[in-house]
Amino acid sequence: MAAQRIAIVDYGMCNLDSVRRAFEEVGARPYVTDDPADLDAADRIVLPGVGAFPDAMRSLRSRGLDQALAKQVFHEGAPFLGVCLGMQLMAAIGEEVEETDGLGWIDARCVRFVPTDVDRRVPHIGWNQVTPTVDSPLFVGIPPGADFYFVHSFHVLCADSGDVLATTPYCDVFVSAVQHGQAFGVQFHPEKSQQWGLRLLRNFLAA
Amino acid sequence: MLKVRVIPTLLHKGFGLVKGVRFDSQRAVGSPMQAVKVYNLRNVDELVFLDVTATAEGRGPDLELIDELADECFMPLAVGGGVRSVDDVRSLLAVGADKVVIGTAALRTSDVVREAADRFGSQCVVVSIDCRDGEVCTKSGRVPTGRDPVDVAQMMEELGAGEILLQSIDSDGVMEGYDVETVARVAAAVSIPVIASGGAGTFTHMADVLRDGGASAVAAASMFHFTEQTPMEAKHYLADQGFPVRV
């Protein structure tokens, strides 16, 4: 089978090179683009991102990428993976900086961690365990509770538990992976999570 | 549970890696690419890469080098040295750095930390605070500022820093233990993670600063360059001591 074409969406929020490199490592043909027209050629689409929610949404909208992504994912059936901020943007509303409408693919709000006595440091930075709550092609061959690398201050609160794919214990428990149809999102960085991260990207290529 | 991190630090000067004592007397310790590849194979938690002469030479980060290194790094990479502006932060993130370490420039003007955090998020902004005898210094330890590390750390948190890399110049390269007292003061005063750096010689030193200093992560250079001890062995030791680690 020819290597899959993976469109990595560039909306000016950086961190693209690590994701591109990781997809090369697992045998795909990633390409970085900020042009909605280039998404047509993609077998799969990845929305990476670090940065603030409102800037990111403005940036996606100004390029027409919000519409193009929805079309590819929900009409053309292209599997989608949102990473970190890319997952958060799938939510209906983000609370970072100012309340902002997200892509609205999942019924969720993106909220700041509320520190507890035990977990009082925010951002949540480092390796933490990810436990799938349902069977998912994304986590095939990955032991439940495997450690992935996180670096974030906000997380997604799902109104529909049917969208939840995995959870992680921090400031109580938060949703660390979601799935809605063909659209997946992970709060951690698979491209920076060594063995299990690369396995998850391979799984995404097969999902 | 969130794991404590063990982070090898790579100090770069000119064409190779170096390691010194108290930010001085540097010895060459090899090529950065080789070190990155080895640490990637060894599955370390994270890497810190600091260009120790960039600020002194008045230049920015070596983007070409970072680009090459980041390509081999399937773990988080924090890069610092010579970061002067939000443009430098953007450029480093674009070539694959996951976090950017801001030192001298953070003390000179508060704008770079605030703007970088606003644009790219707090999670990728690490502020390096270098201390000698309880006083914050800049420019690789050459310039004393007269400021207390707790005040500086709190100010940086306020500006949007996501993490503090707290380096003790007195302990650097001496391998006789971290400056636990200063780490404890800073870690108690902020709610962002603190990485303790400077002084690691044994695994016990790491346990001390994690337990008594409240550090979220321990960085070490000399210990990994000049002794047989490895990050994985450190984590096995820490696991035996009851710390959550990724092994």
Cα-Cα end-to-end distance for chain A: 15
pLDDT band at A16 (very low <50, low <70, confident <90, very high): confident
Q: Which CATH architecture has domain A5-206?
A: 3-Layer(aba) Sandwich (3.40)
- What integer pLDDT is reported at residue B177 of this predicted model? 96
Structure tokens belonging to residue B73: 């790094």
Please count the other Cβ atoms lying within 10 Å of the Cβ belonging to residue A154: 26
* A115-124: average pLDDT: 90
B213 pLDDT higher than 70: yes
Q: Is the pLDDT of residue B110 over 80?
A: no
- pLDDT value at residue A14: 63
Q: What are the two backbone dihedrals, phi and then psi, of residue B151, each rounded to the nearest 5 degrees?
A: -60, -45
The answer, yes or no, to whether residue A12 has pLDDT greater than 90, is no
Mean pLDDT within B227-247 = 96
According to the model, what pLDDT value does residue B109 have? 80
Nearest Cα of chain A lies from the Cα of B143 at a distance, in angstroms, of 30
Pairing of strands A183-186, A173-180: antiparallel
Average pLDDT rounded to a whole number, residues B29-40: 92
* pLDDT interval class at A52 (50, 70, 90): confident
ipTM over 0.95: no
Residues 144-163 of B with CB under 8 A from A: 162-163
Q: Provide the phi-psi class of B242: left if phi over 0, else alpha when psi is between -120 and 50, else beta.
A: left
Question: Which residue among B46, B74, B123 sits closest to A191, beta carbon to beta carbon?
Answer: B74
CB pairs under 8 A between A and B: 112
Helices B203-211 and B231-240: angle between axes, nearest 10 degrees = 50
Is residue A1 pLDDT above 70, yes or no? no
pLDDT of residue A2: 81
Q: Give the pLDDT band of residue B25 (cuts 50, 70, 90).
A: confident
In chain A, positions 81-120, which contact chain B (CB-CB < 8 Å)?
A: 85, 115, 119-120
State mean pLDDT over A186-207. 96
For chain A, the average pLDDT equals 94
Tell me if the bond preceding A123 is cis, omega within 30° of 0.
yes
The whole-number pLDDT of residue B121 equals: 86
Encode pLDDT of A135-173 as tens digits: 999 999 999 999 999 999 999 999 999 999 999 999 999
Task: Spell out which residues of chain A touch residue B2, defining contact as CB-CB under 8 Å.
Answer: 119, 124, 126-128, 170
Domain boundaries along the sequence of chain A: 5-206
8 Å CB contact of B192 and A122: yes
